[in-house]
Copies of this chain bind each other. A is one copy, B any other.
Amino acid sequence: MQATIYDIAREAGVSIATVSRVFNNSSTVSPKTRDRVTTIAHRLGYHPHALAQGLAKKRTQLITAIVPVLSNHFFMEVLAGIQDRLADSGFDLNIYNVRMGDSLENQIDHLVKRGSAEGYLFISTHLPEKIGAILRRMGVPMVLIDDYHPDFDSVSVDSVEGAYLATKYLVDSGNRRVGMIAASPRSKPTIDRVRGFKRALEDSGRLIDEALIMTGDTMDRDGFTERNGYEAMRKLLDLPMPPDACFCSSDIQAIGALKAMAERGVHMPIVGFDDIQFARFLGLSTMCQPMYQMGFLALEKLLRRIGDPATEISHTVFSPQLVVRNTAFVPVVEPDADVIVRT
C-alpha cells in the first residue's frame, strides 16, 4: 500500500513525530534530519494521507459548494471564479448538488454535521431560516452567493435594481406596453425582479397590468429555462393586447422568447438578465452580473472567515449593468426542422 509516516521514520531512524514535523514546516528540525527524511519520503513516493491529517488537525482543507441545479450557466461562471481563487489556497472543492426529493434542511444538516468541510458556499440556495439559525449557532464558516441573510457573509447582485433599470430602459425607449417574462413566483430572484419591474413602471407613471407579467408552464429549474421563456412569450403574444417590449427574468428565457417571436414573425425589444456567454453572441441586451468575480470574491471571504472566525460579517451587492446590444442574430426559425440523419 501507500507509504506512511511509519515507513519513513523506520528508514530514517527517527520518530514519526519528527517525520510529521518535516511535513508541517515546523522549523524545529535539523537540516540534516530534514534532508534525510525528505529524500526517503520522495523515494517512497510518500504523500500525507489527507483524511488522517484532517482528523488529527481537525482541519479538512475542504470547501463544499452547495448548488441547487448543476449545468446552469450562472453556476459554471461562478465556479470558474471560485476555482481560480482556490488554486493556491491549499483547499479542495467539493460540489454538493441539492437533491430534489429530500428536504433542503435535512440535506444541509447532514452535510454540515458530517463535518467534512471547513467552509461552505451556498450558491443560489435560499437558506431556510431554521437552518440559518442552527448554522449560526454552530459557527460554521459560510458565504452566500446570490442570496442574502443578515447573519452571514454574502455576495449578490441587486435583482430589484437590475429589473428596475431594464424596465426603465424599455419604458424610456418609448415602448407603450412593457411586459415581463417571470420565472417561478416562489423563487427569490423572481420575486425581486417582479418588484423592480413594477417599481420602474410606477416611477414612470405607468399603470401595472398584471396580465403582462407572464411565465411559462414548464417549471423545472424554477422556470429558468428556454422552454419556459418560449411558452411565456407565446402566451403574451396570444393576449388581446400583447406587449410591445419585454423584460425577461433571465437570458435563457429571453432566448426562448426570441424563438417564439421568430415563429410568429413578430419582433419587439427585449432585455434579459445574467449576461450569459451567448447573450453577447446573440446580441441580446441584458443585465450583466459579474459571475466570475462573485465566485472569486465569495471564496476570498470564506477563506478569510476560516482564518479568522471573528471577521466582521460583510455583504457585497454588485449593481448589475445594463448592456444594450442590437439583437444581431435574427431568428428565422422553421419549427421542427431538425433532422437526424444517422444513428
Contact = CB atoms under 8 A, between A and B. Distances in A.
Interface residues of A, number: 66
Interface class of chain A by DSSP? mixed
Copies of this protein in the complex = 2
Interface string A301-341: 00000000000000000010111111011111110011111
Nearest to A282: B329
A278 B280 contact: no
A185 interface: no
A83 B55 contact: no
A332 B328 contact: yes
B114 A50 contact: yes
Interface string A274-290: 00001011110000000
17 contacts: A2-B115, A45-B113, A47-B113, A50-B115, A51-B115, A51-B116, A70-B80, A71-B77, A169-B341, A280-B338, A319-B343, A321-B341, A325-B338, A326-B334, A328-B334, A329-B331, A330-B330
Given A70-B79, A70-B80, 11 more contacts: A49-B115, A51-B115, A52-B55, A71-B77, A83-B95, A226-B281, A255-B281, A323-B341, A326-B334, A329-B331, A330-B332
